[in-house]
Amino acid sequence: MIKLVATDIDGTILPYSGEFTDEVKNCIKKLKANNIKVVIVTGRMFEGAKKIAQRLDLDTPIVSYNGGYIKTLSGEILYEKNLPENYAKDLIKWARENNIHINLYADDTLYSEKDDDEIKRYSEYQGLSYTVKNFSEISLNRIHKILAIDYTNAEKVTSWVETMSKKYPDLYIIKSTPFFCEFSTKTATKACAVEFLTQYWGLKKEEVLTIGDQDNDIELLKAGGISVGMGNGTENLKAHADYITDTVDNNGFVKAIEKFVKI
């Protein structure tokens, strides 16, 4: 019997139009009414994910930064794994030398060195504010993650993942959308976070359903007794799923819940 549903946001429960369907909202209401915990597990920063949780009337802890940060709505930090300072410095240097836009997330604040199109487009979609500041002026002892962006060349983003993974085998480096390459510590994964919450609530793995669509959700799927890939998911992600549901635009999340969860 499923007691916890751990779900990604973008491309899983939220279409890229930015609007939840009534079917998804009603499904989550039914899950809550049947005392089934629903936790959002996302690459977004906590403040951005919190807005999503509030739109869905969720009161469970939020897993943000791809699993590196679990925080309750009341402000209690349950789990936090940050990027070591030496790696943050190396990645900033790499981005500057190669003219790559990166977002820096420190103390749950979004920073950019330039007020460019990338940060404007990113912040607008996420509904977030950001601070423009030279990264040399920011303390690097509590970096949640670094995000490299190229909205024009998805193949380049793939090459970053391949190249940097070889250079930094101790880091978790993943392509979270066609345009995003994310850098964090090895223990900042969606699997680590969901496994923490599973133990925190005294649940068994077989009581957990996980669902996602992108490569950064592969780790999420590993933590579920039932793992579901979205129909719009990447081929890499689908290879790790027990079941492939419909697309986000066709309420694939709802169809998966109806198949595996009694509500």
pLDDT tens column, 151-209: 999 999 999 999 999 999 999 999 999 999 999 999 999 999 999 999 999 999 999 99
pLDDT of residue 20: 97
- Percent of the chain scoring above 90 in pLDDT: 97
* 15-60 confidence digits (pLDDT tens): 988 899 999 999 999 999 999 999 999 999 999 999 999 999 999 9
Q: How far is CA 3 from CA 128, 177, 225, 253, in A?
A: 32, 29, 11, 16
Q: What is the mean pLDDT of residues 133-139?
A: 96
* 156 three-state secondary structure: helix
Angle at 16 between CA 91 and CA 208, to 5 degrees: 80
Beta pairing partners, 7? 40, 211
How far is residue 174's CA from residue 176's CA, in Å, rounded to a whole number? 6
pLDDT value at residue 16:
87
| Cα angle 46, 49, 55; round to 5 | 140
262 falls in which pLDDT band (50, 70, 90)? confident
CA 42 to chain centre: 2
pTM of the model: 0.92
Q: Residue 174: which of 146, 196, 204 has the closest Cα?
A: 146
Q: What is the CA radius of gyration of the chain?
A: 18
* pLDDT mean across residues, the chain: 96
Torsion of CA 66, 67, 69, 70, to 10 degrees: 130
Counting residues of the chain whose pLDDT is more than 70, the rounded percentage is 100
